[in-house]
Amino acid sequence: MLLEVKCNNDCFWSLMPYNFRQLPFIESMNKTGLSSNAEITLLKKRIAVLEEMNSHYKEMEGKVSEARLYAENIVETVRDPLLIMDGELKVFSANKAFFETFKVKSEETLGQFIYDLGNGQWNIPELKKLLREIITKRNTLDDYEMEHNFETIGRKTMLLNARRIPPTPAKPRIILLSIEDITERRSVQQQIKIGLQQKVEERTKELDIVNQKLKEKIVDLEIINKAAIGRELKMIELKKEIERLRNREV
């Protein structure tokens, strides 16, 4: 890319970024082929300003590259899959765990919007809504559980956590998205839940049987009690009858 600086009298200087030098050609310095000292001084000032801007841009570029490298080194130390996205949710870095878990390649991932990854397998409306909210409304997404049928690895349950890193002059705005596969954990929890439910059902049946036996025993006791009371009443009546007979004999 060439930068052209125009001075008075149709004077042009062509400049290269990062190396502001005069190119071998000059269309015309002025109508007479000579430049005034004032024009040369003005050009030198403009070149100095451009050189200062260029130096600043190079410094900023270095800081951004340094920040990117720093972030990438952090990413690689994380065991769970991790994506680093820019403010438009375009992936510019991912760790080894992400590529291995979802069986994708870096060239298929880096530079792509998250919704386009894996032939659109991340194009999930609820996830899109939450990530947009991180950009516009809030800074975090905590423990969002998502069950999805992924094209490469099948049906999985994922736990997502995201953080928006505020931008600084040296660092662009980035969003970190960690993805934890909790499919096995949920499967174990479901098995435990089913096992507990079965035990509760079995115990309930046992208690029902015991309760039924108690009811039967209570019924038997009531019958026995009634029979005993009946016998007692009969004994009382018999004693009364014997007493009457004795009184008659007297």
Q: According to the model, what pLDDT value does residue 36 have?
A: 66
User: Can you give the pLDDT at residue 219?
Assistant: 83
For residues 124-140, average pLDDT: 85
Backbone angles phi, psi at 74, to 5 degrees: -65, -45
Residue 129, pLDDT above cutoff 50: yes
Work out the mean pLDDT of the chain and round it to a whole number. Answer: 77
Angle (CA) 238 240 243, round 5°: 110
> What is the structure's pLDDT at 242?
76
Q: Is 153 helix (H, G, I), strand (E, B) or coil?
A: coil
Interval 148-166 mean pLDDT: 87
Q: What is the predicted pLDDT for the residue at 113?
A: 93
Nearest to 109 by CA among 63, 75, 64: 75
pTM of the full structure: 0.55
Is residue 12's pLDDT more than 70?
no
Ranges 28-37, 101-110, 131-140, most confident: 101-110
Whether the CB-CB separation of 146 and 127 falls below 8 Å is answered with yes
pLDDT at 133 over 50: yes
Q: What DSSP element (H or E) covers 175?
A: strand 174-181
pLDDT at 4 over 80: no
| pLDDT value at residue 20 | 42
Give the residue, 242 or 192, on which the prediction is more confident: 192
Range from 28-37, 52-61, 81-90, 234-243 that averages highest in pLDDT = 81-90
Q: Is the pLDDT higher at 224 or at 163? A: 163
**What phi and psi, each to the nearest 5 degrees, are found at residue 115?**
-70, -15
pLDDT at 17 over 60: no
**Does the structure show a pLDDT above 80 at 161?**
yes
